[in-house]
Amino acid sequence: MPRRRLRPRKPRGSAEWAAAGVVALAAVTLLARTAVAARDAAVDAWPVLAALGAGGLAFAGWRAVRSAHAMRIRAESLARLRITLTQIDAMNDKEFEFALRDLIIRDGWTARRVGQQGDQAADVIGQHNSRGRIVIQAKHTTVGAKVGSHVMYQVKGTAGPVHGADHAVVVTNGSFTRDAKAWGERHQVHWVDRDRLRTWAEHGTPLHDLLHLPDRPTRRGTALHKTRTRPRSADRQPAPSPVRRRIRQRGPDRPLVD
């Protein structure tokens, strides 16, 4: 059986109207007295409230100053950061990724470590005002081990399309195969082997100077360049006929039909 909803009804008769008026007057009186009591309490307690407010502001200011001081100390220590290859060899994979993050922050980038399972070939992502975004893949290995070309393929496939990077770098404390180096240089995947890592981490040479990373062109400039170099519809050449395409593909001395 459904429950009946109780709804207020209008008073009936002069007696009910008088009772309703008395209740309303009592409610208004109670609210007025409550407001007066709250005002009197605030007036009496204003020194306490002011002291609490001042204490809160002082605490917030102290926290801000302490945070700024800690950030300044960290920036100064990172500016002097030097990591030897012996220290790097003693690290595990996670520590190596954090070390690369700190090194690139030392070089003037903002960076964060993102390396984890499913990181899509990115362990550290950095951002620079003029050089754009960089993706670093860390390969911590035993001394003498070599990184192969398949790592270069993975980084090339995700650095731009997935992470929006302008520069892709693979860093190892070991070395790279000859094919990996050649493939990386052809396809703009930079590599840092043990010798380059010493120059970067121990000697303090910034990574962008070590790899000669160019400044990133602004998107607006790139768009303007594309707009200017795109031919107008009136100047476009007509598409070649199927026969001309086949001659172009096969060469003038090869038959059209095999």
pLDDT band at 247 (very low <50, low <70, confident <90, very high): very low
Element (H, E) at 137: strand 132-139
Alpha-carbon distance 258 to 242, whole Å? 16
State the CB neighbour count (10 A cutoff) for residue 150: 10
pLDDT of 118: 65
Amino acid at 43: V
Which tens digit of pLDDT belongs to each residue from 95-143? Answer: 999 999 999 999 999 999 996 766 688 999 999 999 999 999 999 998 7
Taking the alpha carbons at both ends of the chain, their separation in whole angstroms is: 88
Amino acid at 238: P
Looking at per-residue pLDDT, the higher value among 77 and 81 belongs to: 81
Alpha-carbon distance 247 to 258, whole Å? 13
Q: How is residue 192 written in tokens?
A: 């840092």
pLDDT band at 80 (very low <50, low <70, confident <90, very high): confident
What is residue 164's three-state secondary structure?
A: coil
- Region for 228 from its dihedrals, namely left if φ exceeds 0, alpha if ψ lies in -120 to 50, beta otherwise: alpha
Average predicted confidence (pLDDT) for the chain? 79
Q: What is the pTM of this model?
A: 0.58
pLDDT of 232: 39
Which tens digit of pLDDT belongs to each residue from 170-195? Answer: 999 999 999 999 999 999 999 999 99
pLDDT band at 66 (very low <50, low <70, confident <90, very high): confident
Alpha-carbon distance 115 to 104, whole Å? 15
Amino acid at 220: R
pLDDT of 5: 64
99 and 219 Cβ atoms separated by less than 8 Å: no
Segment 43-71 mean pLDDT: 77
Alpha-carbon distance 88 to 195, whole Å? 13
pLDDT of 220: 38
